[in-house]
Amino acid sequence: MTHYLMSVHGPAEMEDYGNYGSKEAMEEAFEATSAYNDQLKADGYWVFAGGLQPASTATVVDGQGEKPVMTDGPYLETKELIGGFWVIDAPDLDVALELAAAASKACRGKVEVRPFDGLA
């Protein structure tokens, strides 16, 4: 089994309803994602998942010097940032890609699949 991060990317600047366009579309996506999560748990692939607050709520901490330095905002200036993610445990990449396709359909976004190097 291999652990994979399935991350969903979205616009750095969120509109009222994220990138969903309307309230209805957003609710539909949330519902579909919730159903997808239940299925993931039932099938035993679920490890952890979560949506993230907008990137504007991020703080970057650099603790490499003597005193930590805090900076408001995300680390990278970019048009797209990670909006949420799943951590799954799947037997191989083919299974992970299948799960990612269903995840992408549920949350209405592109999903990046990336294996973990190790988990603590």
Partner 1 sequence: MQTGTAVERVFREEYGRLIASLVRRFGDIDIAEEAASEALVAALEKWPASGVPPNPGGWLTTTAGNRAIDRIRREKLRDTKHRAALMNHDDTPPDPTGPVEDDRLRLLFTCCHPALAPEARIALTLRLLGGLTVPEIARAFLVPETTMGQRITRAKKKISAANVPYRVPEGDDLPERLSGVLTVLFLVFNEGYLASGDGDPVRVELTGEAIRLVRILRGLLPDQPEVAGLLGLLLLTDARRESRVRNGQLVPLPEQDRAGWDRDLIAEGHTLVRECLAINQPGRYQILAAINAVHTDAPSAADVDWAQVVALYDQLTRLDDSPIVALNRAVAIAELDGPEVALALVDRLPLTGYHAWHATRAELLRRLGRRAEARAAYDEALAATQNRAERAHLEAKRAELA
**How many Å separate Cα 4 from the centre of its chain?**
12
Q: What is the nearest approach in angstroms of partner 1 to the Cβ of residue 6?
A: 12
Per-residue exposure over 94-109, b if at least 16 CB sit within 10 Å of its own CB, e if not: ebbeebbeebbebbbb
Q: Is 120 in the site for partner 1 (CB under 8 A)?
A: no
Which contiguous run of DSSP H or E holds residue 64?
none
State which residue, 26 or 95, has the beta carbon closest to partner 1: 95
Q: What is the nearest approach in angstroms of partner 1 to the Cβ of residue 2?
A: 4
Site string for partner 1, 73-112 (x = CB under 8 A): ------------------xxxx-xx---------------
Q: What tokens does 34 get?
A: 């919730």
State which residue, 21 or 115, has the beta carbon closest to partner 1: 115
Rounded to whole angstroms, the Cα distance separating 101 from 3 reads: 17
- For residue 18, the cross-strand partners are 15
Residues that bind partner 1 (CB under 8 A): 2, 4, 91-94, 96-97, 113-115, 117
